[in-house]
Structure 1
Amino acid sequence: MKIYKDFAQVLIKRASDLYKDDYFRIGLKEKVYAFDSSTMKLCLNLYPWAKFHHNKGTFKMHTLINLRGSIPTFIWLTEGKVYDMNGLDVISVEPEAYYLLDKGYVSIGFITTFKSVMHSM
């Protein structure tokens, strides 16, 4: 699994370098990120480690995408039971960037961290 993770990081770095000077489609010069998760269903007979609920198997892919070029900058794979807002603990907040999140990411801790990063500029 680690070889795929390392290879993905190489590809993300190359793609990010290619699109680093592209402006966001609505004319923003600042970076704009979207963070969300997708739940993938799995067959429990083939993936018993992915037990979610009774006879269901799942895992989640939490993805932070730089909307300038639509390149993922971070991907975190977890068990299906992991709450979306837990993903906020593992991403880095970048000053002067916009972050698009849905209501599954409501977290006072993240907002507090986000505000302190913005005030330290």
Structure 2
Amino acid sequence: MEVQRTVGGFPDYYSGLGLDPQASPGAIARAYRSLLRRHHPDTRYRPESVEDANQHAVLLQRAMEAHAVLADPIRRARYDREHHPHPVLPPIPQPSAAPFRPASSPGSRPGGGESLSVSPLRWDPPTRRSI
């Protein structure tokens, strides 16, 4: 019986369908239909034994489970995020730890601080205009 590879203890749906993680939705559908024709009891030969029938049933179930996750964009994104992490990007360089000093403006005081005057917000209701 074929052993399905796992990623972190979870089944690897891409290898179950024989695909790589960058596969397009069309490639996922084609791989699923191919496995469905190969393992579905209505489209394959009569099993030679009960074990053979059970093996095809298990492989069909795995293909259906993989297709259910990978065909749905939201479930696929969640699966990719949790089970197929992308390589870690290098950290973004941080600026030097120099203290922040605002640029001087025309209204700034010579002592370094700026005098701020804040007027309260005022709301005037709209007036009724006749057209």
Structure with more relative contact order (C-alpha pairs < 8 Å, separation 6 or more): 1
Is this a same-fold pair by TM over 0.5? Answer: no
TM-score (norm. length: structure 1): 0.24
TM-score (norm. length: structure 2): 0.23
Q: Which has the higher helix share?
A: 2
Give the greater-gyration-radius structure (CA): 2
Q: Which has the higher strand share?
A: 1
